[in-house]
Amino acid sequence: MTGRNSDMSDRDINTEEVAQRLHRAGHRIDPVLGELFPPDEKKYLHEPFWHHMEGGGKRLRPALCLLSCEALGGNSERALPFAAAVEILHNMFLVHDDIEDGDTMRRDRPAVWAEYGTGNGINVGDYMLGRAYRAVLNTRADDATRLRLVDYFVDTFELTCEGQAFDLNRRADRSLTVDDYLEMVTRKTGHYLALGMVGGAIIAGAADEAVETFQELGCDLGPAFQIRDDVLDLQEAKGRGGAIGNDIREGKPSILFAHSVNEAESDRADELVEIMAKPREDTTEEDVQRVVDIYNSCGAFEFARQTAEEYTNRGFEAVERIPTEDRQFFRRVVSYMVERSS
């Protein structure tokens, strides 16, 4: 591994320092969001949007868009509309995801559909997608660059939908393998995480090699990020009103499930699938604890940690190929993302 071993101190990060830099960068899109969604207009669309947005969120993706653009010598002011588009898309997926999963809480407040109704939740999400495309088209770049951004945005949107379709249709699936899971999260999370960074690189006029490096970085960090999310689901830290085990109640194809259903003894694997296949409302706290016990008996949590570490190491390797003098910051971003506790 080039560079990573000699810079291991970068992993001993000041989490607050990295978080603050990302926070400052991410909130630079606030004026753009205000222009796209004026709070005092279109009550039935903008009010639910701001209900969702005011719940919080780390603004990680737009921050990485702007900081990647700057790291490659670009003018990040030109990237603000695209960074806003990335954040709108992210939140559109969350609004629809809550409907698909039946989650009533998001960021410790009622989900949009729970507050305004399912129909409004679907419609607001659709509207957000339209506004996201409008933001891409507003990017301050020549026509060829804007077309390239639109093309990449569409590709990422489609891949994320493919990953979500996999997620929705492989729940409580006895035949799910770890490789299946990793393919799913690369589509659902990896390309999607790379979107802002790749867009920032394109706007900066970076060479194809740099653009591809950011794509690789996202596809390495996406699985690591999602694996960590799978584990966090069993902690009171995901903004779901203190509820834990939502992935179990929904029968989601997590890495913990994929590993355990293949490693557990047959009777335990059958029990695992039976619990995961239950309707959400019929899954008890005892069921959740039983699944956790099966995960523990199969070493699923350690397997998840090791797999996340492998993808993290790939991410560090990708960082070393970014043509910038600010690699140290990107190393720290990698550590920050995969070692977060919420």
Per-residue pLDDT tens listing for the chain (342 residues): 334 443 444 445 567 889 899 999 999 999 999 999 999 999 999 999 999 999 888 899 999 999 999 999 999 999 999 999 999 999 999 999 999 989 899 988 999 999 999 999 999 999 999 999 999 999 999 999 999 999 999 999 999 999 999 999 999 999 999 999 999 999 999 998 999 999 999 999 999 999 999 999 999 999 999 999 899 888 754 545 556 888 999 899 999 999 999 999 999 999 999 999 999 899 999 999 999 999 999 999 999 999 999 999 999 999 999 999 989 999 999 998 887 655
pLDDT of residue 13: 55
pLDDT of residue 342: 56
In a domain, 64, yes or no: yes
In a domain, 110, yes or no: yes
In a domain, 305, yes or no: no
In a domain, 277, yes or no: no
**Strand 105-106, strand 109-110: pairing:** antiparallel
CA distance 277 to 295: 16
In a domain, 287, yes or no: no
pLDDT of residue 34: 98
CATH of the domain at 135: 1.10.600.10
Residue 139 and residue 79 in contact, taking contact as beta carbons nearer than 8 Å: yes
- φ, ψ for residue 235, nearest 5 deg: -125, 160
Domain encompassing residue 130: 14-140
pLDDT of residue 233: 84
pTM of structure: 0.91
- Count of structural domains, the chain: 1
In a domain, 42, yes or no: yes
Tally Cβ neighbours within 10 Å of residue 113.
Answer: 24
In a domain, 162, yes or no: no
In a domain, 67, yes or no: yes
